[in-house]
């Protein structure tokens, strides 16, 4: 863009947004970022860019300036995870975007909307498989309708599996970065079955090149920004070397994407970078972590034969992952479960107590002692409590003593209806956990309860823990296609 402009980038502290802000600022434009830091990071801030913190629904109040171009990147942007966070997706992709579109109509400036290639996945069928895909597809249609009827300048772009410096890992991570973290941690690289699903991997610098061209000269829909060369996820995983492990299929995992770059290439855009070269350089300059056992240490207040929804979901997950071994530390709880160690296929059950219901009160102490011995024998991928209960206290004690990262899933808790005494215990448990996951309503309640971020890094356990946690949540909350 030759003339200097005032440009608004929603999601400017995110992965793609920060790269775009850096380029625009370097080109001499006044750049304003609006980000609520749901996925964006302050470490991504670029000197010279003006940062406004807030939700896109409040864009009118937060950005009073006259704007020449809006790059709307600030939406929820994870496909499979959106199945578990429908309310969050609606909040960001419907409520937030509606306000951005109203802002655009009032200002009469140009809008560049970042659509999603899921709209074209599996010949268009993928657009209805997840809340993310459906909201993004609908938004592209709304943008087109407003732009054409009101005769406003707009362009709709579609990104294809973006990778590059500054990618996210963890729950909202991208494929390449997740694989990189698994490589660095020494864990096997996990691929969702069947592994033959194909993707078009596009470097973030190529995406930014395309966005700037479209911002300057594009008008209308169908600006595909993707590298035409396709790779299967299994092919990508094997580029990192080492062991690859297949995970069960899950909702939203489309088999292929439809890519059309004709309009983008008509502006002079073409992808310049190769994902093969990117991975080859990473592997050549990065040491693989010490190999870990495919083994997880789990804390559960009760287990077989006494089960509830949380335990039954865990059993189903274990059955789906025969390559991974699970050590379950639990209470005897009943005179019929006094056998201290029991082996069942890839499960080893370690029971503590005296065969009475009161064993759960001893579990934080006896369970901790048993887990400490197990930790001396095995190199676990991570530790996990399937509920924030007595068993979780054993995990908290282990974390405090041995610094082991701890994941807690809230499972079937109704944490809004517990006594003040148990609220005190729950706050202590959850405050010590590295990561806490549940349904979005549960998580909102927990955030208010403990007043802190629920997503700290689990270090080496992050990538693998997220894969297992996602699968477990899909089973527990009965998402389609489990």
d(CA 197, CA 255): 4
- CA dist 95 → 57, 101, 138 (Å): 6, 10, 13
In this structure, the answer to whether residues 227 and 350 fall within a common structural domain is no
Judge if 391 and 328 occupy the same domain.
yes
What total of structural domains would you count in the chain? Answer: 2
Flag whether 1 is in a domain.
Answer: no
Domain, as residue range, for 340: 295-476
Same domain flag for 255 and 311: no
CA distance 275 to 287: 19
My answer on whether 306 and 442 are in the same domain is yes
Residue-level pLDDT at 252: 55
pLDDT at 446: 75
Residues 154 and 113 grouped into a single domain: yes
Same domain, 25 and 147: yes
Residue 436, CA distances (Å) to 169, 341, 375, 405, 455 in order: 16, 28, 22, 12, 7
CA dihedral sign of residues 35, 36, 40, 44:
positive
Residues 302 and 264 in one domain: no
Residue finishing a domain among 221, 251, 285? 285
> Is the CB of residue 225 less than 8 Å from the CB of residue 160?
yes
List, run by run, the mean pLDDT of 10-residue segments along the chain (482 residues): 89 96 97 94 96 97 97 87 81 96 97 84 61 90 96 95 88 84 87 89 97 96 94 95 83 69 96 96 94 89 83 87 92 74 89 87 93 92 84 90 83 68 77 76 73 61 68 66 38
Cα(197)–Cα(181) distance, integer angstroms: 21
Q: Are 413 and 387 a contacting pair, CB within 8 Å?
A: yes
Residue 403, sorted as left (phi over 0), alpha (psi -120 to 50) or beta, turns out to be left
Under 8 Å between Cβ of 332 and 338: yes
Co-location of 12 and 123 in the same domain: yes
Q: Is the separation of the CB atoms in 234 and 179 below 8 Å?
A: no
Q: Which of 108, 100, 8 is nearest to 56 (CA)?
A: 100
Residue after which a domain boundary falls, among 218, 251, 285: 285
CATH assignment at residue 54: 3.40.50.720
Instruction: Identify the pLDDT of residue 482.
Output: 37
Token pair for residue 55?
A: 């939700």
Q: Cα–Cα distance between 286 and 248 in angstroms, integer?
A: 29
Report if residue 481 sits inside a domain.
no
236 with 209, same domain?
yes
Q: Is residue 482 part of a domain?
A: no
Q: Residue 313 maps to which CATH number?
A: 3.40.50.2000
Give yes or no: residues 256 and 393 share one domain. no
Residue where a domain terminates, one of 238, 254, 285: 285
Beta bridge partners of residue 111, listed in sequence order: 70, 154
DSSP for 64-100? -S--SEEEE--S---TGGGGG-HHHHIIIIIIIHHHH
């Amino acid at each position: 863009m030759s003339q200097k402009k005032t440009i608004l980038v929603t999601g400017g502290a995110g992965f793609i947004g920060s790269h775009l802000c850096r380029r625009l600022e370097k080109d001499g434009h006044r750049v304003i970022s609006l980000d609520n830091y749901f996925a964006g990071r302050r470490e991504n801030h670029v000197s010279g860019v003006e940062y406004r913190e807030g939700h896109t629904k409040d864009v009118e109040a937060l950005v009073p300036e006259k704007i020449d171009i809006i790059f709307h990147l600030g939406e929820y942007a994870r496909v499979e995870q959106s199945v578990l966070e429908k309310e969050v997706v609606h909040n960001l992709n419907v409520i937030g975007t509606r306000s951005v579109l109203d802002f655009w109509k009032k200002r009469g400036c140009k809008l560049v909307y970042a659509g999603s290639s899921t709209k074209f996945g599996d010949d268009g069928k993928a657009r209805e498989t997840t809340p993310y895909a459906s909201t993004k597809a609908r938004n592209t249609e709304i943008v087109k309708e407003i732009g054409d009827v009101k005769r406003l300048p707009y362009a709709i772009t579609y990104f294809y599996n973006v990778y590059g410096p500054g990618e996210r890992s963890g729950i909202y991570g991208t494929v390449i970065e997740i694989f990189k973290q698994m490589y660095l941690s020494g864990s096997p690289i996990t691929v969702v079955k069947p592994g033959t699903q194909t993707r078009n991997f596009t470097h973030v610098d190529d995406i930014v090149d395309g966005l700037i061209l479209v911002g300057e000269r594009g008008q209308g829909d169908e600006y595909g920004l993707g590298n035409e060369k396709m790779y299967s996820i299994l092919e990508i995983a094997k580029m990192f070397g080492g062991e690859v492990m297949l995970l069960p299929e899950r909702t939203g995992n489309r088999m292929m994407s439809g890519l059309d770059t004709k309009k983008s290439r008509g502006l002079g855009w073409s992808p310049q970078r190769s994902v093969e070269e990117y991975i080859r350089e990473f592997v050549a300059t990065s040491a693989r972590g010490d190999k870990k056992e495919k083994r997880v240490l789990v804390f559960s207040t009760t287990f077989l034969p006494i089960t509830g929804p949380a335990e039954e979901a865990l059993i189903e997950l274990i059955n789906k992952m025969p390559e991974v071994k699970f050590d379950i530390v639990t209470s005897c709880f009943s005179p019929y479960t006094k056998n201290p160690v029991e082996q069942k296929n890839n499960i080893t059950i370690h029971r503590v107590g005296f065969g009475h219901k009161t064993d759960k009160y001893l579990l934080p102490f006896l369970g901790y002692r048993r887990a400490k011995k197990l930790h001396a024998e095995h190199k676990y991928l991570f530790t996990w409590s399937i509920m924030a209960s007595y068993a979780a206290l054993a995990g908290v004690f282990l974390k405090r003593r041995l610094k082991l990262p701890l994941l807690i899933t809230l499972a079937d808790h109704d944490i809004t209806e517990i006594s003040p005494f148990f609220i005190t215990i729950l706050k202590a448990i959850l405050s010590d956990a590295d990561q806490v996951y549940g349904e979005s309503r549960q998580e909102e309640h927990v955030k208010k309860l403990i007043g802190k971020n629920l997503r700290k890094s689990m270090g080496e356990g992050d990538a693998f823990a997220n894969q297992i946690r996602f699968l477990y949540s899909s089973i527990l909350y009965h998402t389609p296609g489990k």
